[in-house]
Amino acid sequence: MFAYEQQQQSSCPVKAPVEHRFSPYTDNGGTTLAIAGDDFCVIAGDTRQSEGYSINTRYAPKVYQLSNGAVLATGGMYADGVTLVKMIEQRLEWYRHAHAKEMSCGALAQMLSTILYHKRMFPYYVWNTLGGLDEEGKGAVYSYDPVGNYEKHKWNCSGSAGHLVQPFLDNQIGFSHQREKPTLTMERVVQVTKDAFTSATERDIYTGDYLEMFLVTKEGIQKTLTDLKKD
């Protein structure tokens, strides 16, 4: 009989244990994206910074224009991203002093992997996407996991809405399951990027507020800011 005795159910709020063990990591959300064209590259990210269900700020840029002309999009833990970019900028400066030239996009791609792997046992909790132009002036995109595993692509989307946007890009940029495979213009890529982010904002609570885009061409880098929904 006692096996079926009902457990006392609490009708008032149950005292929940308070979490006080220190965690060095936090996830600040956000989505980043990069698309390579024949002679250009578009790198974008939203500017919302979140923690749990709270929005910390509507404008905390996580896409950085690096001093060698490449653009790095960071997602995950904001503080680790800031620190990683400081590290990279210092290494780019040392490279300039040692070799009297800018580091190439491909060299930076390998270096970023090495920097991340050197912290294999206490990783930077950051999902990186690196975009720029390679030595021939063609668009290049590299994506990374937090421990330095990386791959070169034509397009990539990562972060909190990465899983929503990536298949959309596969279809609209990679033309998978499509008969026509037209050449991508920058105008088209910019429009697809905006559509990707406005749609991601609808479904992902960690994406929104503003979209910051970097348009990389051999003429230089143009930065744009577009409104996203702020709810």
Residues making contact with other proteins (CB under 8 A):
12, 20-26, 28, 49, 51, 54, 56-60, 77-79, 82-83, 122
Q: Kindly give the pairing relationship between strand 126-133 and strand 139-144.
A: antiparallel
Residue 110 DSSP SS3: helix
d(CA 34, CA 40): 11
Least distance from other proteins to the Cβ atom of residue 211, Å? 18
d(CA 29, CA 204): 10
Least distance from other proteins to the Cβ atom of residue 91, Å? 18
Least distance from other proteins to the Cβ atom of residue 54, Å? 5
Cβ nearer to other proteins, comparing 23 with 183: 23
Cβ nearer to other proteins, comparing 81 with 139: 81
Least distance from other proteins to the Cβ atom of residue 125, Å? 10
Least distance from other proteins to the Cβ atom of residue 127, Å? 17
Say what angle helices 186-203 and 162-172 make with each other, to 10 degrees: 150
Cβ nearer to other proteins, comparing 56 with 178: 56
Residue 79 DSSP SS3: helix
d(CA 68, CA 106): 11
Beta strands in 93-209, from DSSP E residues, in sequence order: 126-133, 139-144, 150-153, 155-159
Cβ nearer to other proteins, comparing 57 with 176: 57
Cβ nearer to other proteins, comparing 127 with 155: 127
